[in-house]
Amino acid sequence: MNELPNRKIIRLKNHDYSSAGYYFITICTKDKQNPLGKIVGDAHQGVPYMELNEMGNIVHQHIESINSAYDNVKVDKFVVMPNHIHLILIVEGGTPECASPTKSVVAKVVNAFKSLTSRRVGGSMWQRAYHDRIIRNEKEYMKIWNYIDGNPAIWADDCYYINSI
């Protein structure tokens, strides 16, 4: 499995974007370059893992800080990859009367994250948009959780893979 289905940006019809829920978020770096680190190891040498560089550590720290920065938003699971991040956001309270996904809590959290990390590294590092998917049930949640957990092991087959050598 190298990517989850329905990764296009499609808004769920009749979804109340002001409501609480679980969201699968993917944010890619500008031009999908690999500024966040590299995958070390391969299937023959043990389990591959992400080796963060300075920029990757900054991104990692800012993801972890989301839990303390927001009362109603928690990061449940995440991975920093060479040129993108995946995370599961739990929104425990939505944005009242917010039918638009662009004004939702998720959009505000992602935009703040992108702004703060870019400022910290001294320039814009993210693509303009991001992918989000509403996680609809426990089966889908487990599939996404396992995908995030195993993402470094399938890096060479990942749809975001770009060989930087």
Residue boundaries of the structural domains of the chain: 21-156
Domain 21-156 has CATH 3.30.70.1290: yes
Q: Is 135 exposed, middle or buried (0-12, 13-18, 19+ CB in 10 A)?
A: buried
Per-residue pLDDT of the chain (165 residues; tens, 9 = 90+): 344 444 334 456 666 666 788 999 999 999 988 999 999 986 566 788 999 999 999 999 999 999 999 999 999 999 999 999 999 999 987 666 555 555 678 889 999 999 999 999 999 999 999 999 999 999 999 999 999 999 999 988 888 888 765
Longest dimension (CA), the chain: 52
- CB–CB of 91/72 below 8 Å? yes
pTM, to two decimals: 0.85
> What is the residue whose two structure tokens read 């296009």?
8
